[in-house]
Amino acid sequence: MAGKAIEKRPEVDPRDEPSAEWGWHGSFPKATRIAGWVSVVILLLMLKGNHENNTENVWLIGLAAFLALLLVLDFRKRRTAWRK
């Protein structure tokens, strides 16, 4: 009885992205998360400034909160990924 060889298919179609054939094709998950938290801190540091009214503050806090929410949801998704 001949052994059945399982063909391993690439995750990315080389016709869509030619670099998948010859090299690493991935992402930087840890660096992306660190950059996200640094962006949240920078947005909150921008609150100290010469603002005439609070419109700028609302946008800065809103964007920082939205980005932090996305990062927390990503952390939660990574933590429970092994259960699926």
Q: What's the pTM value of the predicted model, to 2 decimals?
A: 0.65
Phi-psi label, residue 26: left if phi above 0, alpha if psi -120 to 50, beta otherwise: beta
Where does the pLDDT of residue 20 fall: very low under 50, low under 70, confident under 90, or very high at 90 and above?
A: low
User: How far apart are the C-alpha atoms of 82 and 77, rounded to whole Å?
Assistant: 9
pLDDT digits (tens, 9 = 90+) for 21-39: 566 656 678 889 999 999 9
Residues contacting 67, CB < 8 A, separation 6+: 36, 39, 40, 43
